[in-house]
Structure 1
């Protein structure tokens, strides 16, 4: 089977474990529709490989020497925007998953997936980038869905209020910054507490930071 347009799907492999890369090469090479164009051991090598060959797909590990996965995805998007990046990793932390998907990864897969699932994912992203593919534990998916619900629940104004509160501003200071009354700030905070299930300003900030609704301000 060939990729979009009838050509072979060209694939670059990027992982700092030689044995794992070799296993991936052997596994994917069994499909006549795939062509492995090269391997990389570091983030720098991955970017150079993509820039030189412009493959349809880059299989990328999260932890490698050199630039991190986010930086690699960004550089790939600049030098070869047609290359779809598939994250293939053992990390399933919701924050990492969300961060890499938001950076532009076309798929996020765990290394314990089966051969057919991997081949299907490679074919899918090589044809279309419209859908993002996920193969993560149920707990990770539920956490991402919970974060999405919380993001939807908080209005833009409530997020503004919470960010200023997290910056250690008083209600009066928040009101002055946003040109609203102090009573309106208190009402926003009451709504925020209810939506996040928080009992105080500190609790709301902690929950919002964990859910990636606001930045962690030290």
Structure 2
């Protein structure tokens, strides 16, 4: 099995734990269709290796010195779109999974997966990125599904209102900003509370941020 180029699938491994990184190289090297062309222990090293080798796959840990995984994925997507990023980590937080997949990761795998699962994932993303590959606990997947349901339940106007609420704007201020009546703002808020199971403005903001419906950093 070869990559898109028809030759060996070229891979860069980025993890700050030396023993794990070396073990991963040895594991992947047992498959003759794979070639590990570089190892990095920081995010900056990973980006330099990608620039140098233009690999088909980057295996990336979430927590490494330097720019975060999100920044690396976004940089790869812009500058090296031929490289598919596979997150390989011990972190199974739904918020992190969602954030990195939305940033462009082709797969999100736990380090507890079996050898055959990892090899299958590398082969799959090297051929096509039509599907996102997930190997996370069922509880994480269920949480992601709930977040998606909440997001699709809120209308675009309700999301607009919620973002302005998060900026500490009053109903009157929101009405002026959106060119609607104050009564309409109140009706949107009632609907938002019902859909999110919230009991107040503060509660709605917290639940929306946890579900990644709004970004708390914008406040």
1:77 matches 2:77: yes
Helix, strand or coil: the match of 2:183? helix
Question: Following superposition, which runs of at least 4 residues in structure 1 exceed 3 angstroms of deviation?
Answer: none
Distance 1:97 1:127 in 2: 22
Structure 1 match to 2:60: 60
Q: Which residue pairs with 1:22 in the alignment?
A: 22
Alpha-carbon distance in structure 2 between the residues aligned to 1:74 and 1:6: 26
Q: 2:98 aligns to what?
A: 98
**Counterpart check, 1:143 vs 2:130:** no
Is 1:41 paired with 2:28? Answer: no
TM-score (norm 1): 0.96
1:39 offset after TM fit, Å? 0.6
For residues 31-56 of structure 1, give each alpha carbon's deviation from its aligned partner in whole angstroms, at most 9, with x where no partner exists: 11111111111111100000000001
State the number of aligned residues: 218
Q: In terms of mean alpha carbon deviation, does 155-164 or 208-217 score higher? A: 208-217
The DSSP-based 3-state class of the residue aligned with 1:13 is strand
Structure 1 stretch 123-132 or stretch 196-205: which is displaced more? 196-205
Deviation of the 1:5 alpha carbon:
4.6
Matches within 5 A, 1:55-204: 55-204=55-204
What are structure 1's unaligned runs of at least 5 residues? Answer: none
Please, what TM-score do these two structures have when normalized by structure 2?
0.96
CA-atom RMSD in angstroms: 1.2
Write out per-residue CA displacement over residues 71-109 of structure 1, whole angstroms, 9 at most, x where no aligned residue.
Answer: 111222233210000000001111111111111110000
